[in-house]
């Protein structure tokens, strides 16, 4: 048994490039066609302050379930060799440099994520985002869910949910809003959380032209007003037919297409987060794969 496998067993037993304007994405309800089931919804979840967030009254029964100890461990402990093997491969979308008011919370720069549980593009992005953020802090209470099984694009993609989780970091704050579940309700999906007024203003400005090809795209990421990423970092089709455990296991396999896609995207996201944290911590921001992704970001600025 390798040292990593031993650590994993003990833990379980005890507990950039310029964006592609044509990148696939889902849309929030306000701008989606309401014919049959819409193809996208927005979600924003807050980590750390999630309990203070406004949740829709009388919430529906939720499709999430707690992430298993194995999945949680694998997301938080991706081996350096697997991250290095992934680097930032072709096909991984990078963010757009913006000059917006600096976003912060509790004295730390703020990363805002908006998505929806039914959205397959959000499903893909959450894996990479969770891996990246786990290098700067700690998640607790992550959930497992899947994208809508009725969506024509990559239905039933297994993923994580940030709803109800907390995120603790000495370097940044993380706000996530999951606006709907994956459960149909009428011509859309059941509501889950509402963005605050400030978050709604952020979306009205930066989740619309000229920053996006059309208004209301998700997943949406704002990195402290420095960078913007709308749409998935990689194609969710690579996750097709795989269980949560299979996806999490692939994170440690340097030869896995699933692992390379998620870890490559996580390297790019890590490089962007480093621009928010003054290149801290040095062990992460000085990692060769992250430095390589950061060089690509600067070249594209």
**C-beta separation of 167 from 138 below 8 A:** yes
- Give pLDDT < 70 ranges for the chain: 1-25, 27-63, 88-90, 298-301
CA 8 to chain centre: 23
Reported as a single tens digit per residue, the pLDDT across 246-263 is 999 999 999 999 999 999
Reduced to 3 states, what is the DSSP secondary structure of residue 68? coil
- Collect all residues with Cβ–Cβ distance below 8 Å to 51 and sequence separation of at least 6: none
pLDDT of residue 101: 81
Per-residue three-class SS string for 4-63: HHHHHHHHHHHCCCCCCCCCCCEECHHHCCCCCCCCCCCCECCECCHHHCCECCCCCCCC
In whole angstroms, give the CA distance from residue 261 to residue 234.
6
Q: What residue segments make up the domains of the chain, in order of their start? A: 22-300
- Give the Cα separation of 280 and 263 in Å (integer): 19
Please report the pLDDT score of residue 38 as a whole number: 32
pLDDT of amino acid 25: 60
Report pLDDT for 127: 98
Helix (H) or strand (E) holding 80: helix 80-86
* pLDDT 10s digits, 73-126: 999 999 999 999 998 666 788 899 998 888 889 899 999 999 999 999 999 999
Strands 104-105 and 108-115: antiparallel
Give the separation between CA 266 and CA 263, rounded to whole angstroms: 5
Give buried/exposed letters for 276-300 (b at 16+ CB in 10 A, else e). Answer: bbeebeeebbebebbebbbebbeee
Q: Measured at the alpha carbon of residue 125, what is the angle toward residues 122 and 131, in degrees to the nearest 5? A: 140
Q: What's the rounded Cα separation, in Å, for the pair 223 and 229?
A: 8
pLDDT at residue number 99: 87
pTM value > 0.85: no
Note the pLDDT of residue 103.
84
């Amino acid at each position: 048994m390798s040292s990593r496998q031993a650590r994993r067993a003990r833990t379980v037993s005890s507990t950039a490039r310029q964006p592609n304007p044509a990148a696939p994405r889902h849309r929030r309800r306000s701008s989606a066609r309401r014919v049959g089931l819409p193809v996208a919804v927005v979600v924003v979840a807050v980590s750390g302050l999630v309990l203070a967030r406004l949740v829709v009254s009388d919430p529906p029964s939720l499709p999430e379930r707690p992430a298993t100890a194995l999945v949680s461990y694998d997301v938080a402990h991706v081996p350096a060799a697997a991250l290095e093997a992934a680097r930032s491969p072709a096909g991984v979308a990078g963010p757009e440099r913006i000059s917006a008011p600096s976003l912060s919370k509790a004295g730390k720069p703020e990363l805002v994520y908006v998505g929806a549980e039914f959205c397959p593009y959000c499903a893909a992005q959450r894996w990479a985002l969770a891996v990246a953020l786990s290098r700067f802090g700690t998640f607790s209470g992550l959930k497992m869910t899947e994208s809508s099984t009725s969506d024509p694009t990559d239905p039933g993609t297994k993923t994580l949910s940030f709803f109800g989780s907390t995120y603790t970091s000495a370097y940044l704050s993380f706000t996530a809003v999951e606006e709907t579940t994956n459960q149909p309700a009428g011509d859309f999906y059941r509501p889950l959380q509402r963005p605050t007024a400030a978050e709604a203003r952020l979306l009205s400005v930066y989740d619309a032209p000229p920053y996006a090809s059309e208004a209301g795209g998700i997943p949406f990421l704002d990195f402290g007003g420095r960078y913007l990423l709308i749409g998935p970092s990689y194609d969710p089709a690579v996750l097709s037919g795989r269980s949560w455990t299979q996806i999490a296991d692939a994170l440690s396999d340097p030869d896995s297409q699933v692992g390379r896609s998620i870890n490559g995207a996580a390297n790019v996201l890590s490089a962007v987060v480093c621009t928010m944290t003054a290149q801290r911590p040095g062990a992460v921001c000085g990692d060769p794969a992250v430095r390589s992704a950061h060089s690509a970001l600067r070249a594209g600025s």
